[in-house]
Structure 1
Amino acid sequence: MPVGYSAAQIRAAEAPHLANHEPLMQRAAAGLAAEIRGVIAERRRDGRLRHARPCVLLLVGPGNNGGDALYAGAELAAKGKRILVLLVLGRVHEDGLAAALAAGAEIVTDDEAVEAAATADVIVDGIFGTGSSGRSALQGAARDVVMRLQPLLGGPEAPAVVAVDLPSGVDADDGSVPDPAVLPADLTVTFGGMKAGLLLSPARELAGRVRVVQIGIERQLARMEPALQLPDDTSGGQ
């Protein structure tokens, strides 16, 4: 039976590990990087990889979601991938950005974003994660970026979209999508446990395939009553 947890439950499960200074973000980033490498390998097998040196564009928001993307980008850059970073809201996880730049990532400007996205093999949506639950609609610069990139997606030659934890603009708890400014993901990499919203429409249809990466909070979650439990036939195969 598919089960999902609320954003508050995920934060509660993380709390003792963060208090012990465990590297939850680095674990999440390592899992994210592995899944991105898998997407690149799929595109290479299918003949859809655009560059001999794969190109990944990171859409980076100001919080931990952006930090996950940046640390994953650092790992990928260190392995020879070309990593482009768009700082969507200016503010950024400073240590993650430093790691990415030290590994060879390049920052692109808002004016360069569409061209970078159009030529990328993979776009990583690291704008907002579970911290936006309850106020999930994108606004301002974040909404503008997503609306400019949406027309590039959907075709057979379009870049793959990998969402970090959940597609930015959907609600982690109830799966609602209050505004059409969402990048539909081919793959969503979520951390610790399935977010309840990813099991519910319309977010379910925007999340693509969902992979749950273990980061060390699973025992805490197992002690909780899930926020959502669904019969197997309503999970959409995820």
Structure 2
Amino acid sequence: MIDAWTAAQVREAERPHLDAGEPLMQRAADGLATVVREVLRASSVRRGGRPARVLLLVGSGNNGADALFAGESLARELVPTGGAVTVVPAGSRVHEEALAAALEAGAVVDDDESWFGPAGVSERLAGYDVVLDGLVGTGSRGPGLRGDALRVVQAMLGAGAGRGAGGASAVVVAVDVPSGIGVDDGTVPDPLAVLAADVTVTFGGYKVGLLVAPASRLAGRLVLVDIGIGAELARLPPAFSAP
């Protein structure tokens, strides 16, 4: 059986570790970066030796920060060899420390409005090998996406991004959960506003929405990263269990 928990339960399990000053976000980012490296290695033949390029879709919350800290690690490896890590801010703010770290490592910010329309995205997206969806996660309020996060996802979908779009498309890696799904119930409030993931890298424990349809069908391959809260989650009754 695979057990899954609600967002509130995961936060409860995290609390004592955060209070103790443990670097849960850095552990999550390190695990995320490791998975992206594996994806890039698998796509190296398709690239034909071209340096790898990674696109970060960054929202205001912790998922955006996870993406940025992972981007920092990736940029230190990719940029010196001619690769790139590009940040597209799509929230009311971004995590300042994480953004500063990514920029210092060689990432660049591209906040051009063309990322929010399908015509502009089609041309820009073609040069990227991986897209990290760090727009919203378990802390989002209300169903579905709003504002720039909604605009960029709709533009990506209009440009043919997402799982099943074809072998030449960038691999979409969701940070913790695909943005816009019902994390606690597996609902999809707006099927035209979720970027289907090829891989979802989730932290600490599985979330209910990753195992329950229809949201589970948008999560792709699930990779669980241990951030050190397993013992606390084990004390909480799972909100859902799947065979």
Give the TM-score normalised by structure 2: 0.90
Cα pair 1:50 1:121 within 8 Å, conserved: no
**Correspondence for 1:175:** 186
**Corresponding residue SS for 1:131:** coil
Distance of aligned partners of 1:26 and 1:223 in 2 relative to their CA distance in 1, 3 Å threshold: same
Provide the C-alpha distance between the structure 1 equivalents of 2:88 and 2:147, rounded to a whole number of angstroms: 15
Q: CA deviation at 1:90?
A: 4.2
Q: Distance in 2 between the 1:221 and 1:49 partners?
A: 40
CA contact (8 A) 1:5 1:196 kept: yes
1:73-112 to structure 2, matched below 5 A, reads 73-80=71-78, 81-112=83-114
Count of aligned pairs = 228
Query: Which residue is 1:149 aligned to?
Result: 156
The aligned residue for residue 126 of structure 1 is 134
Q: Tell me, what secondary structure is at the counterpart of 1:119?
A: coil
Counterpart amino acid of 1:5?
Answer: W
> TM-score, with normalisation over the residues of structure 1?
0.92
1:236 alignment partner in structure 2 = none
Maintained 8 Å contact 1:57/1:116:
no
Which amino acid is the alignment partner of residue 27 of structure 1?
R
Larger deviation, residues 208-217 vs 88-97: 88-97
CA RMSD of aligned residues (A): 1.3
Give unmatched runs, 5+ long, in structure 1.
233-238
Partner of 2:237: 225
Query: Within 2, Cα distance between the matches of 1:107 and 1:51?
Result: 25
**Shift in Å at residue 155 of structure 1?**
1.4
Moved over 6 A (4+): none
Kindly, what percent of the aligned residue pairs are identical?
51
Q: 1:184 aligns with which of 175, 190, 196?
A: 196
Going from structure 1 to structure 2, the CA distance change for 1:174 and 1:14 (only over 3 Å counts) comes to: same
Deviations 1:16-42 (A, max 9, x none): 011011100000000000000011111
